Chains A and B, each alone.
Chain A
Amino acid sequence: MTTKDIGPKNPVQKSADATIDYVDERSGVKTGTRWFLFRNIPEGTSWYQTLGFTAMVVFGMQAITGIILAMYYVPDTRGGAYESIQRITEEVTWGWLVRGMHKWGASVMIIVVFLHMARVFIWGAYKYPRELTWVTGAFLLLLTMFMGLTGYLLVWDQKAYWATVVAVNIFASAPIVGPYIGDILRAGPEFGPATLSRFYSIHMLVIPGAIATFIGLHLYFIVRLGISEPPWSKRRLRIERDEEDARREAARERAKALPGAVTYPATWPVKAEEGVR
């Protein structure tokens, strides 16, 4: 920092500055923060563009509530899984709330991610240069849905069990690779204790890791390429109006230049004008 030294500093602030400088010298954290937080975004950035951040925050909430649930959950089919869910819901302090938030959070996350995607689609924000941002986002949507699928089984009640049996059968019905995918998901040819452990580890290790990685990539692309501008931002509309005016003006000028052509309408398209000339 190049602030002007106008007097003796508070020693606490002095040492804090020294610490930040020490860390920055080695990590570039100041540059990084400036790059991330103090980058410029287009003037017209709208409320519709808050959905991506919201999806990320809901994911964070799912991670926190999920960690709390994992402290009490026992992924054992032989007396444990179902009973621990029962205990979380009925005995553990605030357990019903944490589980409720995790369950509702899943539904809300699907909705928010879908709305975010719809916004990007409607605005054409996936176009050059943001194609890869879209691709990473599409994978995030698929991962979120897969999260819902694997989490559904963990409560280990009748509904969850049979719905997941059907879902895994659906995966297994794919040609050629289907049976292998089925075996991988079930951890064998039959549904059983190993299946639950597998879904548990996929749900809380594999997919969260993948989602975190893709969020990182997604954010990197967003910061690098910049957030898209609404197609109807004031600036864009002004430019379009100016372009339109210039086109009309040009047409009028050309019409004047042609002898006896004053009857041409003022809005005569430029292309047609060129043909006449």
Chain B
Amino acid sequence: MKPADKKAYDKDYALAKKTGKPFFPYAIFKDTIVAGLTIVGIIVLAIVVKVEVGEPVNAATTDFVPRPEWYFYFAFELLKIFANQDVLTPVIMATFMVPNILIILLVVWPFIDRGPERRIWKRPFAMGMIVLVTGFLCYTTYLGAKTPAGVSSQGLPVSGLDEAGTAGMQVFMDNGCGSCHMVAGVGAPGPGPDLTNFGSKGWDEAKQIAWLKAPNPPMPSYASLPPADLEALATFVNGLGTKYK
């Protein structure tokens, strides 16, 4: 804004204030009604949809469904969007680049858009931005809400299983791997990558076990599994798409 625009705004606002009305009681009246209704709404929600007590934490059995609160679904969906891409490092893109760019944009926005214009229909760019961002947030939140909560007990449509493969698939299912990874169309489409063809990467068992014990975030570590389970799981995952189709 140019100094002249600033001056014009200050003058105009001073006039608006002069011809205005006192904050108390006019604004406080409206504020109290809306805030009061909101609190009543919260109490009604708390009565109608009662809180539950979930299962106690068991850090050893990793049969879990990693679902955040609904207002983080969008971040979770970002993980999924980038999980199956081999561009850059997907996790960095989804969890670092995109959110931080959004946060920086949010904080510095008034220093980007400095024009004196305030009328909605004269600011198509700003309006486009908010429609885009709100639409993206609503859509990803919807996707997150739609995702089934857990798929760990389902069987996997994989054939050619030998003894080690069957044991590995059992470990895979018991530990809820399917709530982040998809195999042959079964399981959650993310945040983890699709493992249907993982065997084509040609990892050996040691590499796979080392990965399971210390994977890249956000995948949690499976170092607490018994060694036999880890071996079976590694064999199963390394054979997906090659030995086990």
Residues of A at the B interface (CB closer than 8 Å) are: 36-43, 45, 47, 49-51, 53-54, 57-58, 61, 77, 82, 85-86, 89-90, 96-97, 99-101, 103-108, 110, 112, 118, 121-131, 134-135, 138-139, 141-142, 145, 148-149, 152, 155-163, 165-167, 169-170, 172-175, 178, 182, 191, 226-227, 229, 231-233, 235, 239
Contact = CB atoms under 8 A, between A and B. Distances in A.
A81 B33 CA distance: 37
Contacts of B6: 128-129
A134 B109 contact: yes
Contacts of A50: 27, 30-31, 33-35
Given A89-B51, A100-B51, A121-B126, A58 B42 contact: yes
A127 B71 contact: no
Interface residues of B, number: 85
Contacts of A232: 119
Contact of B69 (A90, A123, A139, A152): A152
A45 B3 CA distance: 26
A141 B51 contact: no
Nearest to A53: B31
A20 to B, nearest CB: 18
B68 A163 contact: yes
A149 B71 CA distance: 10
26 contacts: A37-B24, A38-B24, A40-B18, A41-B21, A41-B22, A43-B16, A50-B27, A50-B34, A58-B35, A89-B53, A97-B47, A103-B51, A110-B71, A112-B38, A124-B118, A131-B111, A134-B110, A149-B72, A152-B68, A155-B54, A156-B57, A157-B53, A163-B66, A165-B220, A170-B217, A231-B119
Contacts of B134: 118
A57 B39 contact: yes
A76 to B, nearest CB: 12
Among A97, A160, A161, which residue has the most Cβ atoms of chain B within 10 A? A161
Nearest to A57: B35
B110 A131 contact: yes
B135 interface: no
A161 to B, nearest CB: 4
Nearest to B104: A138
Contact of A43 (B19, B54, B106, B220): B19
A123 B118 contact: yes
